[in-house]
Amino acid sequence: MQNKIHTAQSAFQHWKTISFQDRALLLKRLKTVLDERRMHYAVLMTQEMGKPITQSLAEIDKCGWLCEYYAEHGESFLQNQYTQTEAQLSFVTYEPLGVLLGVMPWNFPFWQVFRFAVPAIMAGNTVLVKHASNVPKSAVGIESLFLESGFPLGVYQNLPISSDKVAEFIAHPFVKAVSLTGSEHAGSSVAMQAGKYLKKTLLELGGSNAFIVCEDADLEKAVAVAVNARMQNSGQSCIAAKRFLVHETIFDTFVDKYKLAVSQLRSGDPMDPETQIGSLARVDLAEDLEKQLQESVAMGAQIVLGGRRKEAFFEPTILTNVTPEMPVFKEETFGPVAALVSFKTLDEAISLSNQSDFGLGVSIFTANISQIKTRIHEFNEGAVFINDLVKSDPRLPFGGIKKSGYGRELSKEGILEFVNCKTVVIH
């Protein structure tokens, strides 16, 4: 496996000299191959981790969009920035770092890898990707996609290693930085190793987003979005809404409408295009969720819908009577469990929303845009979405604060994470 580091390093020596135009051309070809074989790759994901097929197809399409986005904008993001000083000339130039290591999770097996690798490669770096152990075919599939699209050998390599081998790769002098998307535990362990060797890290970790529904919100819209915000990817998403904070005057109506909408979700064979909820990726994940649910129920939470598990399948579940001390409120729930809490004032809602170790994002549903705009700075989050669910978009930076990690992916900020921002002064 260590040979791969040498391959990546020698590929870097060449790749960094390739023009932006030629890199962009390859990214466009990558999108074409993705488009041509979208069903093949979507099926791969669905078979490996159970994501409903329509969601797998949407994930492939989003990866194509990302390739197109950086093909079009990567060069302009990395143009020299000139600043007037007393020197004859002073500017900043952006240079690639070298070989990067990506450690990636299984929940969006293509998207997570693409949003790390595509901007990094566009900037002139080469990458090694240690993908999650339960999606080996997706991992191999992505590597062959890059090769088929014409990227030189060594620009993108799959690293089929177990997590206990990651430290050895971080330690290698050719590896310049690490990007990890995954759990708090994995993030902390990788950051500790990287810290030992003074290497940069970017961490995209867990989340427990609040979804606030104010008294004046468009209730029909809030309910419809709340279903998707929690149940998409069978609830296995870092940016899913997990804690629903609803104004007390509309709480009961919200519960009734939400219960009806969630109960209409179709579960079943993930290969069936009608299926909206599949099984979780592994039985142990469903068991962990069950434990969080049972402990919360023992502390007084009330199940108004679902609550049962059959092997890896977990029924879409709604809980009320939730308090901040319960696991479903204070821990990340990585499955289709929605915890509902009522609030009296916006101050209380903001305080509940911030009462979390995580800080990835928050959704607020309200008709009073001018009021909420004055309160945005009070949310301790990487993203605030008004009247929409929190979602990633190539055009906007994505990332968290607190235990949700640090650094940003996507947009201009994302491509600047893994470059040497070199200051040049000429007298």
Catalytic annotation, residues: 204, 238
From 130, 176, 403, 408, residue interacting with ligand NAP (rule: CB under 6 A): 130
What is the size of the binding site for ligand NAP (CB under 6 A)? 30
Using rule CB under 6 A, residue 132 touches ligand NAP: yes
Stretch that binds ligand NAP, among 212-220, 365-373, 400-408, 415-423 (CB under 6 A): 400-408
Using rule CB under 6 A, residue 163 touches ligand NAP: yes
Using rule CB under 6 A, residue 104 touches ligand NAP: yes
Using rule CB under 6 A, residue 287 touches ligand NAP: no
- Collapsed DSSP state (helix, strand, coil) of residue 89: strand
Residue (99 or 346) nearer to ligand NAP, CB? 99
Q: How far is the CB of 188 from ligand NAP (least distance, A)?
A: 8
Residue (93 or 163) nearer to ligand NAP, CB? 163
Using rule CB under 6 A, residue 408 touches ligand NAP: no
Using rule CB under 6 A, residue 336 touches ligand NAP: no
Stretch that binds ligand NAP, among 23-31, 34-42, 101-109, 117-125 (CB under 6 A): 101-109
Residue (105 or 154) nearer to ligand NAP, CB? 105
- Contacts of 424 by beta carbon, 8 Å cutoff, 6+ apart: 89, 90, 91, 92, 93
Instruction: Please report how many Cα atoms fall inside a 13 Å half-sphere around the Cα of residue 195, on the Cβ side.
Output: 7
From 46, 56, 107, 209, residue interacting with ligand NAP (rule: CB under 6 A): 107
Using rule CB under 6 A, residue 361 touches ligand NAP: no
Size of the chain, expressed as the number of residues it contains: 427
Residue with tokens 């093909």: 71
Contacting ligand NAP within 193-222 (CB under 6 A) = 204-207
Give the C-alpha separation, 134 to 259, whole Å. Answer: 32
The b-or-e profile of 386-398 (16+ CB within 10 A means b, else e) is ebebbbbebeebb
Phi-psi region of 196 (alpha: psi -120 to 50; beta: other; left: phi over 0): alpha
Is residue 316 within 8 Å of residue 306, measured between CB atoms?
A: yes
Give the C-alpha separation, 68 to 401, whole Å. Answer: 28
Strands 317-320 and 302-305: antiparallel
**DSSP-assigned beta bridge partners for residue 202:** 179
Q: Using the 8-state DSSP alphabet, how is residue 392 labeled?
A: -
Instruction: Give the residue closest to ligand NAP by C-beta.
Output: 182
Q: How far is the CB of 101 from ligand NAP (least distance, A)?
A: 10
Stretch that binds ligand NAP, among 178-186, 242-250, 341-349, 371-379 (CB under 6 A): 178-186
Using rule CB under 6 A, residue 48 touches ligand NAP: no
Using rule CB under 6 A, residue 49 touches ligand NAP: no
- Collapsed DSSP state (helix, strand, coil) of residue 124: coil
Instruction: Please report how many Cα atoms fall inside a 13 Å half-sphere around the Cα of residue 355, on the Cβ side.
Output: 18
Q: Token pair for residue 289? A: 């969720």
Q: Using the 8-state DSSP alphabet, how is residue 198 labeled?
A: T
Interacting residue ranges for ligand NAP, rule: CB under 6 A: 103-107, 112, 130-133, 162-163, 166, 181-183, 186, 189-190, 204-207, 238, 332, 334, 360, 400, 404-405
